[in-house]
């Protein structure tokens, strides 16, 4: 029993001492760059260049299914066309793990706050969000956005409807 316990403790220490995969730091830079580009709307093609050709992205809206690179570009453009002065303020940048092992795999996760202004109404907004990014060959190959987009849209539509009725 002592030998079995010793083997378990050594294995646990080795797995804990391995730390984060070296790709995590590089992939975090890529995820940050994607969010900065989304917010600034400076270079739309640069955003698409961070995506792997086989990307599968989970959009934020209820009932949506994973989308590919072309649809992801349209998804980003729609957000950018309707919002101004957008900023993502990260609370943290976390390593993702393989579901099967719980070991860090180089993927990136972040909790944070988006803020901005609705183009049509000038109404300012702010909301909490969670994002995931998985990588292949240094490019984003999958991930998703998780926040109350429907609540934001409803909030902004209320403003538009109030202006129309006045």
Predicted local confidence at residue 15, as pLDDT: 47
| Dist CA 166 CA 158 (whole Å) | 12
**87-135: pLDDT as tens digits:** 999 999 999 999 899 999 999 999 999 999 999 999 999 999 999 999 9
| Dist CA 70 CA 85 (whole Å) | 25
**126-148: pLDDT as tens digits:** 999 999 999 999 999 999 999 99
pLDDT (mean) for 22-34: 96
> What's the pTM value of the predicted model, to 2 decimals?
0.81
Where are the chain's structural domains? 22-165
- Structural contact between residues 47 and 30, judged by C-beta atoms closer than 8 angstroms: no
| Dist CA 28 CA 24 (whole Å) | 6
| Tokens read off for 106 | 């180089």
Q: For the domain covering 22-165, report its CATH number.
A: 3.10.450.50
Predicted local confidence at residue 4, as pLDDT: 47
* Beta strand pairing call for 124-136 and 94-97: unpaired
């Amino acid at each position: 029993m002592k030998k079995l316990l010793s083997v378990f403790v050594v294995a646990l220490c080795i797995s804990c001492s391995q730390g984060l995969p070296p790709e995590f730091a590089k992939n975090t830079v890529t995820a940050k760059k994607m969010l900065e580009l989304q917010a600034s709307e400076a270079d739309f093609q640069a955003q698409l260049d961070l995506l792997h050709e086989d990307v599968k992205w989970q959009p934020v809206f209820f009932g949506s299914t994973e989308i590919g690179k072309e649809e992801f570009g349209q998804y980003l453009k729609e957000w950018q066309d309707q919002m101004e002065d957008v900023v993502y303020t990260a609370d943290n940048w976390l390593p993702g793990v393989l579901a099967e092992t719980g070991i860090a795999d180089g993927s990136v996760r972040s909790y944070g706050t988006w803020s901005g202004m609705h183009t049509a109404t000038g109404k300012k907004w702010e909301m909490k969000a969670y994002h995931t990014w998985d990588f292949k060959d240094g490019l984003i190959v999958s991930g998703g956005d998780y926040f109350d987009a429907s609540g934001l849209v409803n909030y902004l539509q209320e403003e538009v409807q109030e202006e129309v009725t006045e």
